[in-house]
Amino acid sequence: MMKLLKYDFKRNGAKLLGVAVVLILAQLSIMLLINNITLITVFSMLAYMIAGVILFITPIRTYSYNLKAYHRKLLPVHSLKTIISPIAMGFICLLILGLIMLIHGYVYLTVYENTRIFDIIKMYPMDTIMSLLSACWIMINMLITIFLAITIATSIRSKGSFWIGIVVFFIIVNGLSWIENLFFGESQWGIFQIFSDESNSAVDGIVTNVNYNPSSLTGGMIGSFIFELVCSVAFLYIMVKLIDRKVEA
Amino acid sequence: MSSLLQMNGITKSYGSKTALNDVSLEIGPGKIVGLLGSNGSGKSTLMKMVTGLLQPTRGTLTVAGLPVGLKSKALVSFMPDRPLTESWMKVRDAITFFQDFYDDFDIVKAREMLQFMKINESDRVSVLSKGMNERLQLTLALSRDAKLYLLDEPIGGVDPVARGKILDAIVEYYNEDSSIIISTHLVRDIERIFDEVVFIREGEIVMHEEVENLRIKYGKSVDDMFKEVYAE
């Protein structure tokens, strides 16, 4: 798997390097040219968001390419590794971006002596960790779901397979979200609950309100996580079978 | 002697179009086999099925007794009609790629072949001419100690000098315990190296014969026979 990962990184090396350079230049420009703190925060977050979107799309494009590339299809490598490698690449890239963002945020908050957010983190350390883990899981889960839609679309040899893939993606996301709500109610965890999060936070660096109910962590939240984990494993199984039997180069 | 490639009743359909129709074929070890047919006759489809790039609609297919899959991929070396390299690669990256993934890749043989083919390891794959690229792809495919080599149109679209060089390389560097299947419609240039020929037309095998028998039985060269079979 590491060898596949190495070549996925090498193929995308120029693009990843480009994103890093542009992001650094953008952040430097924002810091040096803008005086308004709110604007600095907004533009900084925007730059990170754009970089994040590019880094999120990169493994999707890589997976899509690998599914059709002769030199990848011919390798005596288990199909599961073909799926895991771009996920790992995307995860590593976004993790690095997230760490840079956190360090940047820490420096920014320290410089501007805005310690309120540190107080909240100190007050809810477990919640902070759970939020970060949840973000990681959402990303992995989302990539697996998108990959499944791509694999299904690629395994259909007809016009309009791209649109079939898109429809499949929304059916999976909404269908599973509905089932999850049915079983676990309003418990929050991963991808299928992402759009119904009730936590409030302000973008100007000051968290105004966090509605968090610690009791949900032990019950529905764990159930929700296990449900999503089982779904993801099932998706991986379906993808492996499709790649081995249906996806043709 | 057990067969290296066994195809039984292989059919490949795309909707109403049939690319291969009930193809049965057996290839033993130590042979250079010409898979001959006009454009669109099903040569590439047949090869892609042996390598696992395409799945048969019906029929069974084994390589060295193994069904096509993960294990058979390690035994088959394929030079397809499109590059096995990526645009960012230099020649040495392509060599390392093969070395990384194929246990049977012979780096000494690869370097020797690169010298023979006059390819520089530091060259970028994207700047190689079509002929040089074909030479590189052939180098990558033949540098493996595979049981079965499949070369899809290895001399298509290259000049006569490159053709000669490529054919010399095939004869010089292929592993004699294994077999090679070479698909082409440029019969005259390549017939000298064949032990057997398989004629394929409209997805069906119309003849599978040893070249020597062809000469004795029909008194014809492969090229003459090809013209007769594919006369319109």
- Tokens linked to B41: 């006759």
- In this prediction, residue A205 carries a pLDDT of 43
Cα–Cα separations (whole angstroms), residue B18 to A114, B13, B56, B59, B193: 70, 4, 11, 14, 31
Whether the CB of A7 is below 8 Å from some CB of chain B: the reply is yes
- In this prediction, residue B160 carries a pLDDT of 78
pTM, to two decimals: 0.83
Whether the CB of B88 is below 8 Å from some CB of chain A: the reply is yes
- Please report the DSSP string for A83-105 in residue order: HHHHHHHHHHHHHHHHHHHHHHH
CA pair distance B141, B79, nearest whole angstrom: 6
> Letter for the amino acid at A137?
W
Q: Which of B14, B51, B101 lies nearest to residue A157, judging by beta carbons?
A: B14
Please tell me the distance in Å from B228's CA to the nearest CA on chain A: 34
A187/B31: higher pLDDT: B31
Kindly state the DSSP code that residue B1 receives in the 8-state scheme.
Answer: -
Say if residue A92's pLDDT is above 60: yes
CA A167 to chain centre: 20
Question: A–B: how many Cβ contacts below 8 A?
Answer: 51
Q: Which of A6, A74, A157 lies nearest to residue B51, judging by beta carbons?
A: A74
Q: Is B119 part of a structural domain of the chain?
A: yes
- In this prediction, residue A40 carries a pLDDT of 84
How high is the mean pLDDT of chain B?
87
- In this prediction, residue A206 carries a pLDDT of 43
Whether the CB of B70 is below 8 Å from some CB of chain A: the reply is yes
Whether the CB of B17 is below 8 Å from some CB of chain A: the reply is no
Residues in chain B within 8 Å Cβ distance of A13? 88
Domain boundaries, chain A: 1-114, 125-249
- In this prediction, residue B232 carries a pLDDT of 63
Residues B22-32: tens digit of each pLDDT: 889 999 888 88
Residue from B47, B57, B97, B99 whose CB has the most chain A CBs within 10 Å, to mutate: B97
Do the Cβ atoms of B90 and B124 come closer than 8 Å?
A: yes
Residues B27-68: tens digit of each pLDDT: 988 888 999 888 888 899 999 999 999 999 999 999 988 999
Q: What is the CATH number of the domain that holds B191?
A: 3.40.50.300
- pLDDT above 90 covers what percent of chain A? 43
**Burial per residue of B161-200, b for 16 or more beta-carbon CB atoms within 10 angstroms, e otherwise:** ebbebbbebbeebbbeebbbbbbbebbeebbebbebbbbb
- Tokens linked to A55: 């880094």
Among A215-229, A235-249, B85-99, B110-124, the range scoring the smallest mean pLDDT is: A215-229
- In this prediction, residue A189 carries a pLDDT of 53
Q: Is B48 part of a structural domain of the chain?
A: no
Angle at B113 between CA B92 and CA B165, to 5 degrees: 125
Tally of structural domains, chain B: 1
Residues A43-52: tens digit of each pLDDT: 989 999 999 9
Residue A144 CB partners (closer than 8 Å, separation 6+): A83, A87, A232, A235, A236
Residue from B47, B53, B78 whose CB has the most chain A CBs within 10 Å, to mutate: B53
Q: Is B74 part of a structural domain of the chain?
A: yes
A112/A68: higher pLDDT: A68
B175/A11: higher pLDDT: A11
pLDDT grade for A201, boundaries at 50, 70 and 90: very low
Say if residue B92's pLDDT is above 90: yes
- In this prediction, residue A209 carries a pLDDT of 45
Say if residue B96's pLDDT is above 90: yes
Q: Which domain holds residue B14?
A: 5-43+53-229
- In this prediction, residue B1 carries a pLDDT of 53
- pLDDT above 70 covers what percent of chain B? 98
Residue A36, exposed/middle/buried by CB under 10 A (0-12, 13-18, 19+)? exposed
- In this prediction, residue A192 carries a pLDDT of 46
- Tokens linked to A9: 């990184």
- Tokens linked to B226: 């090809």
B50/B172: higher pLDDT: B50
Residues B206-227: tens digit of each pLDDT: 888 888 888 888 887 888 887 7
Read off φ and ψ for residue A85, nearest 5 degrees. Answer: -55, -55
Top-confidence range, A53-67, B172-186, B199-213: A53-67
Q: What number of residues does chain B have?
A: 232
Please tell me the distance in Å from B70's CA to the nearest CA on chain A: 5
CA pair distance B148, A173, nearest whole angstrom: 45
Say if residue B184's pLDDT is above 90: no
pLDDT grade for A22, boundaries at 50, 70 and 90: very high
Residues A99-157: tens digit of each pLDDT: 998 888 888 878 777 667 777 777 777 777 888 888 888 899 999 999 999 999 998 88
Cα dihedral A126→A127→A131→A134 (10° resolution): 70
A208/A99: higher pLDDT: A99
Task: State which residue of chain B sits closest to A245, comparing Cα positions.
Answer: B55
Say if residue A91's pLDDT is above 80: yes
Q: Is B136 part of a structural domain of the chain?
A: yes
Q: Which of A71, A76, A157 lies nearest to residue B85, judging by beta carbons?
A: A71
- Tokens linked to A169: 């993606």
